[in-house]
Amino acid sequence: MARTRRGLIGALGALALGALALTGCSSGNPLADDTSTASSDTVVVGSANFPESEILAYIYADALSDNGIKTDVKPNIGERDRYIAALKNGEIDLVPEYTGNLLQFFDSKATAQSSDEVYSALQKATPTGFEVLDQSPGQDADSYNVTKQFSQKYKVTSLADLKKVSVPLKVGANSEFATRPYGIPGLKKVYGVTATLVPIADSGGPNTLSALLKNQVQLADIYSTTPSIKQNHLVTLADPEHMILAQNVVPLISSAKASDKVASVLNTVSKAVTTDELIEMNTKSSVDKESAQQIAKEWLAEKKLF
């Protein structure tokens, strides 16, 4: 008994030593990699921790390497403050971003709303050493959606049309919609439309969708690139007064890596990224469960941009 126990302790000790040696190695190697990539010509593409960002990162990387530029992808870094920090300390060189949120991140007092205003404000607000390339037409923003029947019955295709609707309007959205300028107060102030909030805390997910389809709410706030919009033939209402902050997809890159060639490749890609294309990518991701890499490859092959 005593012997076996001593043997066990010995084995555990050896295991612990081994583990120590292993962690020593693993923490040494990536550091070495990092310094080498930072000094070479490789463009390291990072992404936020959601599928759409990951797909865009792989599209950027594949497009660049198709044009003879060495790339590496570091997907799923985290939320904005995390990957912007990674960009600033040189762990990554390029990341797909959204104009409105990025502008708010760099300048919390920014007031720009429409795509073009936001983009030019963003160009000014981007810190030195970094720049944004051309923005895509595609947006992933909050959007008001109605069912096709509702749209046809009341002839509503825009938020401005809602004033003519005679029935009381309920909006299914997260509870912050009660106070945000693009929510209930904005509808009243910008479009003169009175609506009440039905708070559903799933960010335009299945519960919000089901409430809309059952007419328990007449409007639903769903992110504009969500597959369910297309699958259920919802009508996304236009926002002619730019009440909702624009969120065009845009590449954010370190100036050191933004050579003319890199910029022209990414600008060509950006031109092709529309909201419909983003919906299709997200459908492949969340409905067909394809990997981000696979979706990026298929998309570039299909678009034949180069």
Partner 1 sequence: MNSYSQAFAWLAAPGHWAGPSGIPQRILEHLGYTGLTLLIAIAIALPVGLYIGHTGRGRDVIVPLTGAMRALPTLGIVILLALWIGGIGIQAPLIALVVLALPPVIAGAYAGLESVDRSVIDAARSIGFTGWQVLWQVEVPLALPLIVGGIRSACLQVIATWTVAAYLPVGGLGRFLYDALPNQDYAQMLAGSLIVIVLALLADGLFALVQRLATPRGVAAGRTPDVGTATRSPTRKDQTWLAPEEA
CA distances to 53, 273, 282 from 278, in Å: 10, 7, 6
User: Would you say 114 or 210 has its CB closer to partner 1?
Assistant: 210
Q: CA 279, CA 283: separation in Å to the nearest integer? A: 6
Residue 168 CB, nearest approach to partner 1 (Å): 15
Q: CA 25, CA 13: separation in Å to the nearest integer? A: 18
Backbone angles phi, psi at 287, to 5 degrees: -95, -50
**How big is the chain, counted in residues?**
306
Residue 9 CB, nearest approach to partner 1 (Å): 36
In sequence order, which residues have a C-beta less than 8 Å from that of residue 83 and are 6 or more positions away? 46, 47, 48, 77, 92, 95
Q: Which two tokens stand for residue 149?
A: 């029947």
**Residues numbered 141-180 forming contacts with partner 1, rule: CB under 8 A:** 172, 174-176, 178-179
Residue 188 CB, nearest approach to partner 1 (Å): 18
User: Would you say 183 or 251 has its CB closer to partner 1?
Assistant: 183
Residue 144 CB, nearest approach to partner 1 (Å): 17
Residue 115 CB, nearest approach to partner 1 (Å): 25
**Residues numbered 175-214 forming contacts with partner 1, rule: CB under 8 A:** 175-176, 178-179, 198-202, 206-207, 210-211, 214
User: Would you say 96 or 183 has its CB closer to partner 1?
Assistant: 183
* Angle at CA of residue 53, ends 293 and 176, nearest 5°: 150
Pattern 261-280, binding to partner 1, x per CB under 8 A? --------------------
The residue count for binding partner 1 (CB under 8 A) is 18
Residue 263 CB, nearest approach to partner 1 (Å): 37
Residue 229 CB, nearest approach to partner 1 (Å): 18
Interface residue with partner 1 among 112, 133, 217, 295 (CB under 8 A) is 217
User: Would you say 150 or 177 has its CB closer to partner 1?
Assistant: 177
User: Would you say 65 or 101 has its CB closer to partner 1?
Assistant: 101
Q: CA 41, CA 152: separation in Å to the nearest integer? A: 55
List interacting residues with partner 1 (CB under 8 A).
172, 174-176, 178-179, 198-202, 206-207, 210-211, 214, 216-217
